[in-house]
Amino acid sequence: MCGIAGAFQQPDGKLVVTTMTNRLGHRGPDAGAVMELVTPDAAVVLGHRRLSIIDLSSAADQPFRKDGLALSYNGEIYNHDELRRDLERRGVRFRTRSDTEVVLEAWRAWGRSSLRRLRGMFAFAIHDERTGSLTLARDPLGIKPLYVMARGEGIVFASELKALLRAVGSELTIDPAAMVASALYYWVPPEYDVLEQVRKLPSGSWAEYRQDGTVTSGAYWRAADEAALAAAGPRADLGQTLIDSVEAHLVSDVPVACFLSGGLDSSLIAALAQRRDPSLEAYTIAFRPEDQRLEAMPDDAPYARLLARRLGMRLHEIELRPDVVQLLPQMVDVLDEPIGDPAAINTLLMCEAAREAGTKVLLSGMGADELFGGYRKHYAMLLGARYRRLPSVIRSRLVEPLVRALPVTVGGKGLRTVRWAQRFVSFAGMPEEEAFRRSYTLYDRDELVELLDPDLASAVDGVIDRHRVTYEDNDLRDEVARMCLADSRLFMAGLNLTYTDRASMAASTEVRVPFVDPAVFSAAFSLPASDRIRGRVQKAALRDVAREWLPAEIVDRPKASFGAPLRAWVSNDLRGLVDDVLLGGELVQSGFLRATPLQRLVDDQRAGRRDESKQVWQLLTLELWYRNARAAGVGVA
């Protein structure tokens, strides 16, 4: 796992790339270098920061140059030994044991068709000295990031936005539509870019830049197509697919550990990994008891301890007592984009603890909920179909007013059931796509328009329309599959994978996600709807598989979110920051946020009339991100 940066056809390329590479030091503290490659008609500079995981020798340092190709690569290729054997049979002679050299030689042998052969997570830039071209590529499901800025006659690129901000911030401009999208979703969806001049290279795609200024790009893997192909084919052997994926993700020359919440997903990954590596250790977290009581949070620790005892696994328990006032600005810088999910704090603090204990690589259960129908919203959407059978007069005049009138707190203690009920009635009566969007976004259309500058109403409509287009872009026949596909393209890629990459790399650790794998993706979409949600049981097929390795107490345990005591933090720790930074902040002064509806939102949260803690957290995050961008010299469109 590493950080990459580069420039193509830039007169100041070496300075820009050196600046970006230095800013990415946290992604690769083990080695770093900048390589300048000049041909008669093209100038390429590649930068790299290395976190050594496979082939720890300096011979595998990057940028890696060999026989006319030069590579700067971020990621891990889990089937590199298999590909190495194939290439050796073709006569390739290797000088390292690294997956880096395998990527380079695979590209030489198979070109763009090599991308579907790589099993792993990756983003890379490869320069062909013979043609002068530079090609960028990114893994199928978007685990590893790559940001690209068109500049002059060429491009600059980096693993993180903060590197571009450090090097060329004064040349950049904030895109208000992306800020609107962040306010709606509480993260920036993959099709939006917060800086107008910088775009994310789409997952499953490549782009080739030539010395004559032409650009060619394409997709080698598309989620909607792969899901439809799997749905039309035979049912996969899910158990064997998961075994194969977990074992593949254990490839490493340094010890591997795992996250263990005591929930189904992380427990299954831990059990399968421990079968292959009995020395595997695990990390779990807990929050301050007073925060857990206030938030009515479930206690995960007993389940993590139960599984650790069953497996004979050493469990590191970390009680999180963060100074949220100090940590929130740090997280905004870490996350690069305005992401309002406090779960990123959990990941950062666990990774920091693991790194302090000498662990570089951790396995995560992320991705299972998206692919196998594990979120409450998935089941709620099916309940919504039944709810809509009630006469509309009963829904609109009796049920919904009653539920909305209920307090979300009693005696200062949060009532989760009330919050869930209020969320449910906010979308249950809507058509499928609209209901799904409202099941997890923060506002309905009118609420968001009221909160923002009136001139941004068209941007709100544009963001909502883009959700519709993404949701409907498939040929899947059942609703659960459509929801899972949308989540894999939006929620998983835009939020969960993004914060996991930034938070883990900020701690100089690598997090691997065995569920986020093309083979597991296809196996998930080969399942009928009833094997995702069977009656009231979610992730049914995954639970069926898990019974062979996990105790019933964990297999049958209700889902417990990987969250944080957000209401406690917003109500207590962050109260002064909300007053001093958000209510009178730059977003209000600039007109992006309207002061009166913002004050009303905060007042409703504090009075317990509505649970607006996620909205307040997201807006505070957006304010801090905006201030950081403006301080870096970024303009406003």
Q: Which tens digits make up the pLDDT trace of 337-366?
A: 999 998 898 899 899 999 999 999 999 999
128 within 8 A of 68, measured Cβ to Cβ: yes
**270-274, 315-319, 400-404: range with highest mean pLDDT:** 270-274
Q: What is the DSSP secondary structure assignment for residue 174, as one 8-state letter?
A: E
Clarify whether residues 540 and 603 are in a common domain: no
Sheet containing 120-128: which strands, arranged edge to edge? 64-66, 69-77, 120-128, 134-138, 205-209, 215-219
Clarify whether residues 527 and 593 are in a common domain: no
Clarify whether residues 534 and 575 are in a common domain: no
* CA angle centred on 557, ends 554 and 562, rounded to 5°: 95
Please tell me the distance from the alpha carbon of residue 469 to that of residue 390, in angstroms, as a whole number. Answer: 29
Residue 9 in any domain: the answer is: yes
Clarify whether residues 96 and 204 are in a common domain: yes
Clarify whether residues 570 and 504 are in a common domain: no
On the CB side of 14, CA atoms within 13 Å amount to: 6
523 within 8 A of 236, measured Cβ to Cβ: yes
What percent of the chain is predicted at pLDDT more than 70?
95
Is residue 562 pLDDT above 70, yes or no?
no
Is residue 301 pLDDT above 90, yes or no?
no
pTM of the model: 0.94
Is residue 414 pLDDT above 70, yes or no?
no
Please tell me the distance from the alpha carbon of residue 504 to that of residue 509, in angstroms, as a whole number. Answer: 5
Residue 614 in any domain: the answer is: yes
What is the CATH classification number for the domain harbouring 329? 3.40.50.620
Clarify whether residues 569 and 550 are in a common domain: no
Is residue 296 pLDDT above 60, yes or no?
no
133 within 8 A of 126, measured Cβ to Cβ: no
Query: pLDDT (tens digit, 9 = 90+) per residue, 494-521?
Result: 999 999 999 999 999 999 999 999 999 9
Q: Give Cβ neighbours of residue 393 (< 8 Å, ≥ 6 apart).
A: none
Query: pLDDT (tens digit, 9 = 90+) per residue, 428-440?
Result: 888 999 999 999 9
Report, as an integer, the average pLDDT of 137-157: 97
What is the rounded average pLDDT for all residues in the chain? 93
Clarify whether residues 529 and 633 are in a common domain: no
Clarify whether residues 15 and 128 are in a common domain: yes
Cα-Cα-Cα-Cα torsion 411, 414, 416, 419, nearest 10 degrees, comes to: 90
Residue 400 in any domain: the answer is: no
For the four alpha carbons of 627, 629, 633 and 637, in that order, the dihedral sign comes to negative
Please tell me the distance from the alpha carbon of residue 283 to that of residue 304, in angstroms, as a whole number. Answer: 9
Is residue 295 pLDDT above 60, yes or no?
no
Nearest CA to 493 out of 141, 7, 236 is that of 141
* CA angle centred on 249, ends 245 and 250, rounded to 5°: 125
Nearest CA to 205 out of 285, 84, 122, 269 is that of 122
Residue 610 pLDDT: 83
| 46's tokens | 């590649």
* CA angle centred on 6, ends 142 and 17, rounded to 5°: 130
Clarify whether residues 364 and 500 are in a common domain: yes
Residue 518 in any domain: the answer is: yes
Please tell me the distance from the alpha carbon of residue 74 to that of residue 50, in angstroms, as a whole number. Answer: 8
Q: pLDDT higher for 181 or 609?
A: 181
Return the exposure string of 19-34: e unless at least 16 CB atoms fall within 10 Å of the residue's CB, then b. bbbbbbebbbeeebeb
Clarify whether residues 361 and 501 are in a common domain: yes
Please tell me the distance from the alpha carbon of residue 43 to that of residue 131, in angstroms, as a whole number. Answer: 12
Residue 70 in any domain: the answer is: yes
**Which residues span the domain enclosing 591?**
565-637
Q: Which of 529, 555, 581 is the last residue in one of the domains?
A: 555
For the four alpha carbons of 522, 523, 529 and 532, in that order, the dihedral sign comes to negative
SS3 annotation, 460-527: HHHHHHHHHHHHHCCCCCCHHHHHHHHHHHHHHHHHHHHHHHHHHHHCCCEEECCCCCHHHHHHHHCC
Determine the straight-line distance between the first and last CA of the chain, rounded to whole angstroms. Answer: 35
Clarify whether residues 137 and 261 are in a common domain: no
**Domain count within the chain:** 3
| 201's tokens | 């290279």
Please tell me the distance from the alpha carbon of residue 501 to that of residue 486, in angstroms, as a whole number. Answer: 21
Residue 289 pLDDT: 63
What is the CATH classification number for the domain harbouring 157? 3.60.20.10
Q: Which stretches does DSSP call E strand in 61-114?
A: 64-66, 69-77
Nearest CA to 599 out of 586, 611, 616 is that of 616
Residue 290 pLDDT: 60
* CB-CB neighbours of 289 under 10 Å: 10
232 within 8 A of 529, measured Cβ to Cβ: no
Report, as an integer, the average pLDDT of 10-24: 97
Report, as an integer, the average pLDDT of 99-114: 98
| Residue linked to tokens 């005892």 | 309
Residue 393 pLDDT: 79
Is residue 611 pLDDT above 80, yes or no?
yes
Q: pLDDT higher for 456 or 40?
A: 456
Q: Which of 501, 524, 555 is the last residue in one of the domains?
A: 555
Residue 40 pLDDT: 66
Residue 444 in any domain: the answer is: no
Residue 401 in any domain: the answer is: no
Q: Which of 555, 581, 600 is the last residue in one of the domains?
A: 555
Is residue 318 pLDDT above 90, yes or no?
no
Query: pLDDT (tens digit, 9 = 90+) per residue, 224-243?
Result: 999 999 999 999 999 999 99
Residue 243 pLDDT: 98
Residue 229 in any domain: the answer is: yes
Clarify whether residues 196 and 274 are in a common domain: no
Q: Give Cβ neighbours of residue 120 (< 8 Å, ≥ 6 apart).
A: 75, 76, 77, 78, 79, 80, 99, 139
